[in-house]
């Protein structure tokens, strides 16, 4: 590693690029209804702007481990930001829906490859003793950008129109590339491992199918009982199993699944997946309940949940500093206990629940997630040797969209099926009050499932220990951070 690495300049470069790339994950959500009218498409079609984005990101994450070892840090960052910029320009100039979707998918390529590149570089630059603070600072971007996305989107669409959702991002993407050209330095080594095409095919089918299958299950009237969904998920699981077996046999695997032999990594990633499921699902279920039985508009519902989302991001650097000082247990264990308590609360809500208590509970939910996610992921990665950094970060980032899609589809399916079953059992005409009771019951059942998941996370947290990086060599600049 170079002894004179300007780690602050590198971190700033990463944060600028990541903020606007990640912002696009949620920036378009509020505008979907308007885009349906503009391009004359139905809801399932326009939803591909969101589902497709997540799908492309999920497919590319496993490949990121290979690309990180084939290209330098500068080549990867500038390359993926250029791809992201190209997609943004195409979307801004879109004259029809296929062109808009194409631009959106190209954006997803850049975003999907960007996060593993950044996390791998940060692991190489910073000593384990300060990684919590650094990952927390970067976590501020990861959590803050999608939190303000819907609110910012609503303002831009109302005052400027949907094209400005992309036009506004263009100058910042250009600035990020120019800033990187001047200040970004290379870290790590380019080893150029062999490329196993069959592994790429298996991972694409497996991860892509899982994300698509679970995302589609929440929208399919038959849910997980749909023959189509069962077939897609079955093929995906078979592909993932074959992929895993193949990686264990290859001398230079595309994605080294041996990272799961490290106990801290396995435990940390397991907690990470459970909490991501609970967070993504809550971000879907809670707005639906606010707009349903509680009768709030979409914008008001978004504003009510905004304080929790913002605090989740803003507390990330603080949680990182606490992680460096006290280790993972003093954050993760209280965090999972609090999370269990919030799940109990949400599994008992009803239309008479005071709105201030609802907002407060959501704030506590997001703060507890902030205390768990970054410490769990950072501690997991800290145990790995350097050669496994690209694989550890790639797997963790691959599991995020998979866990998100799984959480949303399972929660929504449980909620929908419970609501429908309740209404079918009634012998009286369906009224607004009855619909409210059905929705409330569905939310209760969804959070009973969440309570079970978070209970598992708590049990795992009891076995968490502070991981020690086995072969990290500090550098002069990193020691000053």
Q: Is the dihedral of CA 21, 64, 401, 274 positive or negative?
A: negative
Give residue 219's pLDDT.
62
Give residue 342's pLDDT.
92
CATH T-level topology, domain 259-481: Growth Hormone; Chain: A; (1.20.1250)
CA neighbours closer than 13 Å in the CB half-sphere of residue 332: 34
* Cβ proximity of 100 and 91 under 8 Å: yes
What are the structural domain ranges in the chain? 1-193, 198-251, 259-481
Same fold yes or no, 1-193 and 259-481: yes
pLDDT, average across residues 154-174: 82
pLDDT by residue (tens digit) across 84-137?
999 999 999 989 999 999 999 899 888 888 888 887 777 777 777 777 777 777
CB within 8 Å of 137: residues ≥ 6 apart: 11, 15, 316, 317, 320
User: What 3-state DSSP class applies to 52?
Assistant: helix
pLDDT, average across residues 265-277: 89
- Kindly tell me if the per-residue pLDDT of 339 is higher than 90: yes
Give residue 455's pLDDT.
93
Q: What is the pTM of this model?
A: 0.76
Give the whole-number percent of the chain exceeding pLDDT 70. 89
DSSP 75-95: HHHHHHHHHHHHHHHHHHT-S
DSSP 257-281: GGGGGSHHHHHHHHHHHHHHHHHHH
The mean predicted confidence, pLDDT, of the chain is 80
- Kindly tell me if the per-residue pLDDT of 218 is higher than 70: no
CA–CA gap between residue 140 and residue 384 (Å, rounded): 24
Exposure of 48 by Cβ count < 10 A (0-12 exposed, 13-18 middle, 19+ buried)?
Answer: middle
- State the first-to-last Cα distance of the chain, in angstroms, to the nearest integer: 16
Domain 1-193 -> CATH class: mainly alpha
pLDDT by residue (tens digit) across 227-251?
888 898 899 999 999 988 988 888 8
pLDDT by residue (tens digit) across 296-324?
776 677 678 778 877 877 888 888 888 88
Phi, psi of 90 (to 5 degrees): -60, -45
């Amino acid at each position: 590693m170079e002894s004179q690495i300007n780690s602050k300049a590198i971190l700033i470069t990463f944060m600028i690029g990541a903020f606007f790339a990640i912002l696009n994950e949620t920036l378009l959500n509020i505008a979907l209804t308007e885009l349906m009218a503009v391009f004359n498409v139905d809801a399932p079609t326009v939803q591909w702007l969101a589902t497709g984005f997540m799908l492309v990101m999920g497919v590319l994450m496993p490949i990121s481990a290979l690309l990180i070892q084939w290209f330098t840090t500068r080549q990867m960052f500038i390359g993926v930001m250029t791809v992201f910029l190209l997609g943004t320009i195409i979307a801004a100039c879109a004259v029809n829906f296929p062109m808009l979707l194409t631009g959106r998918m190209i954006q997803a390529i850049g975003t999907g490859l960007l996060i593993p590149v950044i996390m791998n570089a940060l692991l190489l630059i910073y000593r384990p003793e300060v990684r919590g603070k650094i990952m927390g600072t970067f976590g501020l971007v990861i959590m803050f950008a999608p939190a303000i996305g819907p609110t910012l989107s609503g303002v831009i669409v109302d005052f400027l129109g949907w094209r400005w959702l992309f036009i506004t991002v263009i100058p910042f993407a250009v600035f990020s590339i120019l800033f990187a050209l001047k200040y970004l330095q290379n870290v790590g080594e380019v080893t150029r491992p062999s490329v196993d095409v069959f592994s790429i095919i298996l991972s694409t089918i497996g991860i892509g199918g899982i994300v698509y299958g679970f995302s589609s299950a929440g929208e399919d009237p038959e849910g997980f009982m749909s023959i189509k969904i069962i077939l897609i998920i079955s093929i995906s699981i078979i592909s993932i199993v074959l992929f895993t077996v193949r990686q264990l046999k290859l001398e230079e695997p595309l994605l080294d699944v041996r990272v799961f032999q490290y106990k801290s990594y396995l435990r940390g990633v397991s907690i990470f997946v459970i909490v991501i499921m609970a967070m993504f699902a809550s971000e879907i279920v809670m707005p639906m309940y606010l707009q349903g039985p509680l009768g709030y508009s979409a914008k008001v519902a978004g504003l009510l949940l905004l304080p929790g989302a913002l605090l989740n991001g803003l507390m990330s650097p603080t949680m990182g500093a606490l992680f460096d000082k006290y280790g993972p247990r003093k954050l993760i264990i209280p965090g999972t206990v609090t999370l269990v308590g919030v799940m109990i609360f949400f599994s008992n809500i009803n239309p008479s629940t005071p709105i201030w208590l609802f907002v407060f509970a959501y704030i506590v939910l997001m703060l507890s997630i902030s205390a768990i996610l970054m410490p769990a992921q950072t501690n997991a990665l800290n145990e790995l040797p350097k050669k496994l950094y690209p694989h550890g970060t790639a797997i963790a980032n691959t599991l995020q969209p998979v866990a998100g899609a799984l959480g949303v589809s399972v929660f929504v399916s449980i909620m929908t099926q419970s609501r429908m079953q309740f209404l079918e059992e009634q012998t009286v005409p369906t009224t607004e009050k009855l619909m409210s009771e059905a929705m409330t019951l569905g939310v209760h059942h969804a959070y009973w499932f969440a309570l079970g998941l978070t209970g598992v996370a708590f049990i795992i947290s009891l076995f968490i220990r502070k991981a020690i990086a086995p072969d990290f060599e500090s550098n002069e600049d990193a020691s000053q951070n």
